[in-house]
Amino acid sequence: MTRTRSTPALAIIPVRVGSQRLPGKALLTESGKELFLHTCDQAKKASNIDRVVVATDDDTVEAAARRHGYDVVRTSPKCRTGSERCAEAAVAIPCRAVLDIQGDWPEVAAQDLEAIVAQLLEGRAVCNTIARRLDDPAMQQNSNVVKVVRGGNGKALYCFRAR
């Protein structure tokens, strides 16, 4: 029996073109390349992420990812969220830790990703997310900004977009 070598830390960038608030957002190229590729590049900079994979059901996204050297896992168009797309792709790749890094997050810092990977690989967390205090009242009222409600222990209870 042949064993598949496990990837310790896997970053999956779920990408779809059918964004409801801004259709085609992932493929915007105002910066010189597709938006989601900047997210991939940030994940690739993290020293403890062993593999970066794009999960998509779109031919254009797949072509752009492969053109820039990223592996692609094709997922079902029935995935309703990036997290569903990530989960579907993760099943196909043996690993110890999976990071679901949404494709429209080009400003994610590699060092923040490294901290999450370390927590997962060391067993200090089974699931986590990056969040920061949101003091700006305009941002608090912006339904495009995801907010996190945390419990007394600092752990996330739920996320929402509403005002």
Interatomic CA distance for residues 131 and 80, integer angstroms: 23
pLDDT of residue 6: 67
In a domain, 1, yes or no: no
- Total number of domains in the chain: 2
Residues 115, 146 within the same domain: no
Residue 135 inside a domain? The answer is yes
3-class SS string, 13-58 = EEECCCCCCCCCHHHCCCCCCCHHHHHHHHHHHCCCCCEEEEEECC
Question: For 147, phi and psi rounded to 5 degrees?
Answer: -110, 155
Q: Do both 140 and 102 map to the same domain?
A: no
**pLDDT at position 3 over 60:** no
| Domain residue limits at 141 | 131-163
Residues 135 and 121 in one domain: no
Whether residues 116 and 137 fall in one domain: no
**pLDDT tens, 95-120?**
999 999 999 889 999 999 999 999 99
Residue 84 has pLDDT above 50, yes or no: yes
90 and 143 co-located in one domain: no
79 CB-near residues (< 8 Å, 6+ apart): 14, 16, 57, 85, 88
pLDDT at 2 over 50: no
Does 92 share its domain with 157?
no
Closest CA to 34 of 8, 53, 5, 60: 60
- The predicted pLDDT at position 128 comes to 83
- Does pTM top 0.75 for this prediction? yes
Assess whether 63 and 105 both reside in one domain: yes
d(CA 127, CA 157) in angstroms, rounded, equals 12
90/159 same-domain check: no
Distance between CA atoms of residues 102 and 82, nearest Å: 7
